Amino acid sequence: MKMFRSAALFLLFIAVFFSLPSMISAANPVCEPTTGATLQLFDSSNTLMETSTLAPNSTSSSVRAAVNSAILSVSKYQRNGTNGNRGTVLLSKGNFTASAFIVMRSGVTLEGTMENGKAVTTICTESRSDPVTIKILESQARIKNLNLDGKRKTEDTVTGEPRKYYASRHRGIQVTAIDQTKSTDELASTYPTTNKDADAKRLKNITIEDVQISGYEGYGIYLEHVDGVTIKGSDTIYKKSMNITDIGYAGIGGVSANNVSVKHTTVSDLWPGVTVGSVQQSYGMAFSHRKINTRNDAKTQAIFPPSHTIVVDQNVVANNPTWEGIDTHSGQNVSLTNNVILNTRFPIVVGGMEYDAGEMSAYPPRDIMISGNRINSQRVGIQDDYKVYDIEKNDTITERGIAVNGSQFTDLTKREMGFLESVVIKGNYVSNVKAAAESHGGISIHVTKNAIIEDNTIENSFNNGIVFLSSNKSTKLYRNSIHHIDKSEHNFIPAAIGIRGSHNNGNVNNDYTALPLTLTNTLIENDHTFAEVGREIHFQAGTSNNLLNNRIGIPPAFKSDN
């Protein structure tokens, strides 16, 4: 009897053992080509020119060849003189599994099929192949109504335990003619500069519309050296038609990107990011430029221009527990408006480029508009963004709301201080910022000139509603409402407006002169609405060379503190 029991147990063990690979792969099934799926080719006047069908024995290599051949064929159709369009490759319902990347051509639209308002065409690439699903290498291209599935690794390759990975070059859509196999140092001798000839080499007029992108370990969409990219969803209310989710590093990343518009898009579930020091950095949407590996070569760094003229409007970014929701490093003429950010550690960050693990910074942003955004909006009786956008509120701690920073130097020549010039922070709603540092709060500014902070609502947060770090010049504050600012567990003194750094005055340089911070004699404490904020205005002990408007009343308690 014992022998039979032992044999049964042995057979059970064998069955379980040999089922493990299939159990593990079942968590991340292969995207098999769909037999009978069709490719229809239309010219620019929407006339059907050709139809082909995937054969029963189609492999991922033959599927890739079929799709690329269809795109190439359409790229040879006559161009529409008005809009530059040559035609469309329409993919039917089903899976189009490619052995490597799909290549877009100029004038071509790659479009999937819709049923009941949802895309039912999926493209994925095999994990052993090139990690990018669609590469756009030429101007005037469009992608619409597709599901892109990156088949992200979800188990540790050794232990089989659930985990997620980061790999920068695993991307859903890559829009650039810059060689991505070369390092930044290698590109320094060949990267196009900002002169007229180089700008002509930027990819232009790219549209990505109503695409579902999921399961990539690097970027959902990567842009580099482009000029004129539109990313948009047709669902203007719930932002579900253009959706980027389950991404390892950045939902949308732009490097030296000009004239980019992102609207009605949801980016969510970003993890794990890249490990930098002791933190894991990941981004919902970020626009920046390549950073060289040394802080001692201003000439080389200048080869990689900052992103310019960026509009990020009416989007949702959620579930980034370790780093930033919407970000620009050194961006110029950047507009971040009417976005919703939920469950994110640092919702909106604007700053320069850091070098040597943050020991110095350079290349400040400029001309920044941050308006109408909502951070952690969960309110009774008013629109609850968690419910509207079907985002579950989790235990992510938001440590700063809107953080706007200049830099230590204008550039790597280190000759001038890097003030962020001209920033407007207007009409934003910020809630539930659990700042752990005394210098953090709902809205913070650092090394700015001519900042305007007006008509914002900040509530239910720690330490500061609005916080001045050092060297803010000619700042103007109007009509902000700040409610329920408490002290954190570190027992800092809470304040509606906290002056936590030095050299906050009206002098455009960084020495001390008798020029008030607010040049218009606005009564800061009377022009705002304060309730349960601890101190209305608090100067941090040890700060110096701060000069606010001389009409501001300083409470008696403040005089005894400092």
Distances, alpha carbon 405 to alpha carbons 304, 384, 425, in Å: 21, 30, 13
Burial class (CB in 10 A: 0-12, 13-18, 19+), 560: exposed
Tell me what pLDDT residue 146 has.
98
Query: What token pair was written down for 364?
Result: 């400040």
Query: Facing residues of 497 across strands?
Result: 466, 537
CA 423 to chain centre: 19
* pLDDT for 553: 39
pLDDT (0 to 100) of residue 285: 98
**Predicted pLDDT of residue 483:** 96
Contact 225, 245 (CB under 8 A): no
CB-based contact 517:472 (threshold 8 Å): yes
Question: Closest Cα partner for 271 from 208, 343, 209?
Answer: 343
Report whether 323 contacts 282 (CB < 8 A): yes
d(CA 150, CA 147): 10
Q: 557 burial class (0-12, 13-18, 19+ CB within 10 angstroms)?
A: exposed
How confident is the prediction along the chain (562 residues), in pLDDT tens digits per residue?
444 444 444 444 334 333 333 333 334 456 789 999 999 999 999 999 999 999 998 999 999 999 999 999 999 999 998 889 999 999 999 999 998 999 999 999 999 999 999 999 999 987 666 689 999 999 999 999 999 999 888 777 788 787 788 889 999 999 999 999 999 999 998 888 766 666 778 999 999 999 999 999 999 999 999 999 999 999 999 999 999 999 999 999 999 999 999 999 999 999 999 988 888 999 999 999 999 988 888 999 999 999 999 999 999 999 999 999 999 999 999 999 999 999 999 999 999 999 987 889 999 999 999 999 999 998 766 789 999 999 999 999 999 999 999 999 999 999 999 999 999 999 999 999 999 888 999 999 999 999 999 999 999 999 999 999 999 998 989 899 999 999 888 778 999 999 999 999 888 888 877 777 764 444 455 688 999 999 988 888 888 888 876 434 344 344 334 3
What is residue 8's predicted lDDT score, i.e. its pLDDT? Answer: 44
DSSP 21: H
With 0-12 CB in 10 A as exposed, 13-18 as middle and 19+ as buried, what is 437?
middle
For residues 480 and 458, the answer to whether their CB atoms sit within 8 Å is yes
38-43 and 48-53 beta bridge pairing:
antiparallel
Q: What is the DSSP string of 343-375?
A: EEEEEEEEE-EEETTTTEEE---EEEEEES-EE
At residue 168, the pLDDT reads 92
Spell out where 307-339 has E strands.
Answer: 308-313, 316-329, 332-337
- What pLDDT score was predicted for residue 548? 73
Structure tokens at 427: 């009409």
Report whether 472 contacts 443 (CB < 8 A). no
Residue in 147, 144, 280 with CA at minimum distance from that of residue 214: 147
Dihedrals phi, psi of 371, to nearest 5 degrees:
-145, 140
- State both tokens at 431: 């809630």
Report how far residue 434's alpha carbon sits from residue 398's, in angstroms, rounded to the nearest whole number: 6
Contact by Cβ (8 Å): 499, 539: yes
> What gap in Å lies between CA 465 and CA 442, rounded to an integer?
5
Token digits of residue 111: 């479009």
Which is nearest to 530 in space by CA: 458, 476, 477? 458
- For residues 232 and 243, give the distance between their C-alpha atoms in angstroms, rounded to a whole number: 10
pLDDT for the residue 465: 96
What pTM, to 2 d.p., does this model score?
Answer: 0.91
Q: What is the per-residue pLDDT for 6?
A: 47
Give pLDDT, residue 551: 37
Tell me the one-letter amino acid at 300: T
Q: Copy the structure tokens of residue 523.
A: 């009564």
Give the residue from 246, 242, 174, 243 showing the smallest Cα distance to 217: 246
Beta pairing class for 360-362 and 353-355: antiparallel
Q: Which residues have a Cβ under 8 Å from the Cβ of 200 and sit 6 or more positions away?
A: none
**Residue 106 to residue 109: CA distance in whole angstroms:** 9
In sequence order, the β-bridge partners of residue 328 are 287, 350
Alpha carbons 92 and 100: distance in angstroms, whole number: 20
